[in-house]
Structure 1
């Protein structure tokens, strides 16, 4: 059973007009009402059958309708306690304990949502592209650069040729020198960062494959440029105090991608880990 049912339903992409689409829309619009309804009442409201509702519930990881309602009640309670990250989350009267709980709970939620947002087939395709690539160029600015830097440090430990620079103009120069044998990985939570999108566009024009680590929105410029999208759950408003849950989710996706990459030949990469290990007494 998923912990955050409403957030999970938000991420589901049911075919328009399908039973799943109708049920999801009704549940999202009337969560408190649904939590008090019987399966037959809900079936009547959505003009469907009780068996279809049970299938809908099981598709969300619940054992049945009763389990679904329990998960829904919990999700409602959690949303009242900790809302999606925005500038309104923190109050002047918040204690240090309140801040600890709010930040931690939002980060936990973001990590859990990664399980639903990240498509296995997309991950597997990215791993194949990484193995095939002669070299990898990483693009990202601001908080997304921090995520790209973490990935850069991981890749050099396994001797994968990789480029990254904190200067956006240098990143663009890297993009202009890419070939069809290279791979670009662009990190941007919003998918709207013009510098990152421009680097990805140039890399694409040079014939390189492009992976985007960005939120689940295929309408952004970065998404249109990319060959594969590793979806980041949408946990933060565009106007925010600073990248927090989005950065946590992106770092988690980078960790997943990296471990999937080295998992293909653990013995070889384990030897590289040992070879490139720098002890505390070195330096």
Structure 2
């Protein structure tokens, strides 16, 4: 099931500025009327050129205005619906298909958001760091733990702990020779922000993984890798955003592992040998 234009715009709303934000606002505020507009009519209504509208359509992930227009066939889901596009009349297969589709859409939108140069910069920082700290509270601790589990297979010196107080103490010990990866979907968790401010005070290079690139966390971070997923409830906690953030972490691990090549392989083989020995 392809993601509708409404869903894609809502998932990327924080990343849209200027003319793009103006077009997005009009579309979301006029969901019925917008479905019948041509590209010229939409340009006229919002007071912009057809070229600007065309660039907007491609920026939100559609190949052409016609493809985008066809995706608007169904009306958007109310923003206070916890389960998003899932309806009470859906059968088991329809529910599962929609959940999987949400995850696929989150991944597709996320990979289109992050610039190649940002992946490269993050990889360079991690490879050259003395120590790497992974920080996340609540649901975000799942992403941090996943990263810790993966990066243990590389030569990097990794630290991660689920307890907030321990994380804060770890942040105190980090220096400008280290790198921190801080995860928060909302980007406004008070504990996470306290940790990030401490990292900033110590001049630690900080990579934020968040679904809100205009959040306080993103402003404090040295680099932001934004995840995208349609927000499906009033608390702005997206179920599919977790999948996107786990994949961002997996991508960082893979980029580092591949670039370190033989060193990574040597660590993997030692770990594999140790685990096999423990099973005998």
TM-score (normalizing by structure 2): 0.81
Tell me if 1:159 matches 2:155: yes
Q: Deviations along 1:195-233, whole A, 9 cap, x unmatched?
A: 22211211221221111111223232x222211111122
The aligned residue for residue 45 of structure 2 is 45
Aligned to 2:5: 5
Residue of structure 1 in register with 2:249 after alignment: 254
TM-aligned CA deviation for residue 133 of structure 1: 0.8
Distance 1:247 1:61 in 2: 20
1:95 deviation in Å? 5.0
Structure 1 residue 247: Cα displacement = 1.6
Which structure would you say has the larger RCO, counting Cα contacts within 8 Å and 6 or more residues apart? 2
Q: Distance in 2 between matches of 1:3 and 1:243?
A: 15
Is the 8 Å Cα contact of residues 178 and 203 (structure 1) preserved in structure 2? yes
Are the counterparts in 2 of residues 216 and 234 from structure 1 also a CA contact under 8 Å?
no
Root-mean-square deviation (CA), in Å? 3.1
Q: Deviation string for 1:39-89 (max 9, x for gaps)? A: 34334333445455445445555444333322333xx36x45xx7795355
- Runs of at least 5 residues in structure 1 that lack an aligned partner in the other structure: none
1:65 paired residue number: 65
Measure how far apart 1:170 and its partner are.
1.3
Q: TM-score, normalised by structure 1?
A: 0.81
1:277 to 268, 272, 277: 272
Name the count of aligned residue pairs.
273
Change (3 A) 1:97 1:59: closer
> Which range moves more in the overlay, 185-194 or 86-95?
86-95
Matches within 5 A, 1:1-283: 3-10=3-10, 11=12, 13=15, 15-16=17-18, 18=19, 20-50=20-50, 52-60=52-60, 62-73=62-73, 76=74, 79=76, 86-87=81-82, 89=84, 95-220=91-216, 222-236=217-231, 237=233, 239=235, 244-277=239-272, 282-283=278-279
For the Cα contact (< 8 Å) 2:188–2:215, is it kept in 1?
Answer: no
Structure 2 gaps, min length 5: none
Question: For residues 15 and 168 of structure 1, do their structure 2 counterparts lie closer, same or farther at Cα, with a shift above 3 Å needed?
Answer: closer
Q: Deviations over 1:7-66 (max 9, x none)?
A: 4444265552x4x45444333333443332233433433344545544544555544433
